[in-house]
Structure 1
Amino acid sequence: MSAPGKYRATVYHAGPRNPSPTPAVNTAPSVPSALPTRAALLMAASATLFGVMAIAIRYASRQQHPFEIGFFRCFFGALFALPLLRVHGLEILRTRRLGFYLVRCGVGIVSMMCGFWALVHLPLAQAVALSYSTPLFITIGAVLVLGEVVRMRRWSAVIAGFIGVLVIVRPTATDFSSATLVALLAAAISGMVTISIKYLSRTDPPDRIVLLTTLLWVPLSLPPALAVWKWPTLEVWPWLVLSGALGTGGHYCWTRALKMAEASALAPLSYLQFIVVGFLAWALFGELIDGYTLFGAAIVISASLYIARREAQVARQQLAEPVVAKGEPQV
């Protein structure tokens, strides 16, 4: 799965107070146009890890229910995230927004379970392609929840993206699967999770968000797993452990990459997951990407990339606007 939506908070700083009578202009450095190599490699690694995790989920689903797989992904993912405690100490667990974390993680569990259900019941490439509609839902959510202003260009991209979703889903087709609706629900809820991360990132560092999220996911994912519980057999344990390791590794690489570079610059690399999943699904399960899924995915990805680029342009324009220092006359 694709990983959840790829945004990070940007903080604009006014330049130092200008002693002259002229307005103080923001002197913050412009956003670099070159993509750091390390950030690119981390995002490519994240996309690859999430892609291989989808394969591990499919193998595990031969014996386990998606809800159980979700729990074990969270359980083993938390174990692999514990080294962050060694690095930062118990201080990393302290936050004033625990209630918000609980709500965010609860919503995230619903998105994860829906996403895993889609990966099990849909062709893998189709499930991943539908997950790329998350930025479309994020744009709508940003308007409704954050009060962001979205102009005609981005609304046009959102409409085009949903047309791509319809091409993938083909609601009038005879082989239409209700699992596609579950995949879209996962994408929509994932958009809510991404918006919540924008709030948390204003006060909490990335490692705290990763660690607290993975730890809280464990108890929250247990009830749905218990409802369908069946102890895994010996041969399925490696796939469950692998799903946790790959999920946490992908989440960590994704967080680190976003700390080093713009989300809009990294977005094209995140779609490497579609290529990885498409190839492995063909090589291991004989699943071919049909023309509708390929064409619809191209539309959705193009629309999502445009939205990311457009948001970056708006951010640069705001960064370049003159900022008048407090107490100085506006000329």
Structure 2
Amino acid sequence: MESKKRYKGIICIIMSAFCFALMSFFVRMAGDLPPIQKSFFRNFVAAIFAGVILMKNGVPFHCKKENLGYMLGRSICGTIGILCNFYAVDHLVLADASMLNKMSPFFAVIFSYFLLKEKITVPQGLFVIGAFVGSLFVIKPTFSNMDLLPSLIGLCGGIGAGAAYTMVRKLGERGEKGPFIVFFFSTFSCVVTLPWLLFDYHPMSLAQIGILLFAGLSAAGGQFSITAAYCYAPAREISVYDYSQIIFSAGLGFFFFEQIPDLLSWIGYAVICLMAVAMFLYNNRRTE
């Protein structure tokens, strides 16, 4: 039974990786619009999608009182993560932005220590440090690097996502349904970003509206898939498969935007992916 759940989690997390790569592609395609405006439309579509599923399945539109704090924490961290990620997507090579966002599993390990009381062993700590070193190759922290600020913001997006997914795992353990977690987060994000949208709305063409609707649909697919994945299995068993998004993003960036990451970025990708695989193998051996 446990292995069956793990396989379901793996399939779901690969599906989410593809959907999130598509989302980043559409966000980039939408052109020169504020990240907050892109975030609103992305989450608006996801909220409607989740609401329809809740009504269809007869799931109540409320959470347990004792879970409200985690639900708000997941929504706040997730909103910060999305805004930072969208900014990075607009200003960096698509694969770079995706890789910085994919630091989230390592930050999830750290947050799991504080929120889920899961102990961090010495090897796990070393893998997290190794991944952070790999991220420095992507960020390239020098004052002459024009992409430094977007890279740091992209890393903050990974931190926010790591905290959010840790709380998703906690909410799943406490019996909250995946569709409601997505609905609550998407609605919260829309409400938070709406005031900025009203005061600083940038007119959009029909093409941009259509592209952002596709971004929202892709995001909804990614949200449902990754929420299901972390409800099926713990991050330590399946998070490595989330790195398939880098392959999808690099392919989309190359074929549609003619983007080719530089050598240092490729070194960073290799280090981070190596740490992810090492973490995955270590955790599986430890579990056995």
TM-score for the superposition, normalised by structure 1:
0.77
Name the structure 2 match of 1:7: none
**After the TM superposition, which residues 213-252 of structure 1 pair with which residues of structure 2 at under 5 Å, given as runs?**
213-252=185-224
Equivalent residues of 2:84, 2:157 under 8 A apart: yes
Note closer, same or farther for the CA distance 1:111–1:35 as it changes in structure 2 (3 Å cut): closer
**How many residue pairs get matched?**
285
Stretches of structure 1 lacking an aligned partner (at least 5 in a row)? 1-28, 318-331
Equivalent residues of 1:118, 1:182 under 8 A apart: yes
Comparing both structures, which one devotes a greater share of its residues to helix?
2
Instruction: Return the alpha-carbon distance in structure 1 between the equivalents of residues 150 and 37 of structure 2.
Output: 18
- Write the letter of the residue equivalent to 1:310: Y
Kindly state the Cα deviation for residue 122 of structure 1 after the two structures are TM-superposed: 0.9
- Write the letter of the residue equivalent to 2:39: G
- Write the letter of the residue equivalent to 1:154: Q
**After the TM superposition, which residues 1-331 of structure 1 pair with which residues of structure 2 at under 5 Å, given as runs?**
31-32=2-3, 36=7, 40-60=10-30, 62-89=31-58, 91-96=60-65, 97-172=67-142, 174-177=144-147, 178-203=149-174, 204-260=176-232, 263-314=235-286, 316=287
Equivalent residues of 1:57, 1:119 under 8 A apart: yes
Which of 83-92 and 293-302 deviates more? 83-92
**CA radius of gyration, larger in:** 1
Instruction: Return the alpha-carbon distance in structure 2 between the equivalents of residues 304 and 157 of structure 1.
Output: 8
Kindly state the Cα deviation for residue 105 of structure 1 after the two structures are TM-superposed: 1.1
- Write the letter of the residue equivalent to 1:122: L
Which of 282-291 and 190-199 deviates more? 190-199
- Write the letter of the residue equivalent to 1:169: I
Equivalent residues of 2:37, 2:201 under 8 A apart: yes
Equivalent residues of 1:160, 1:300 under 8 A apart: yes
Kindly state the Cα deviation for residue 40 of structure 1 after the two structures are TM-superposed: 4.4
Task: Percent identity, please.
Answer: 24
Instruction: Return the alpha-carbon distance in structure 2 between the equivalents of residues 215 and 171 of structure 1.
Output: 36
Note closer, same or farther for the CA distance 1:194–1:43 as it changes in structure 2 (3 Å cut): closer
Instruction: Return the alpha-carbon distance in structure 1 between the equivalents of residues 39 and 59 of structure 2.
Output: 27
Name the structure 2 match of 1:322: none
Instruction: Return the alpha-carbon distance in structure 2 between the equivalents of residues 35 and 198 of structure 1.
Output: 14
Q: Deviations over 1:81-117 (max 9, x none)?
A: 2222233325253432334423331232111101110
SS of the residue aligned with 1:175?
coil
- Write the letter of the residue equivalent to 1:224: W
TM-score for the superposition, normalised by structure 2:
0.88
Q: Deviations over 1:141-189 (max 9, x none)?
A: 3334444322211111112111101111121373342111101111112
Equivalent residues of 2:44, 2:190 under 8 A apart: yes
- Write the letter of the residue equivalent to 1:198: R
Kindly state the Cα deviation for residue 34 of structure 1 after the two structures are TM-superposed: 9.9
Note closer, same or farther for the CA distance 1:261–1:140 as it changes in structure 2 (3 Å cut): closer
- Write the letter of the residue equivalent to 1:179: P
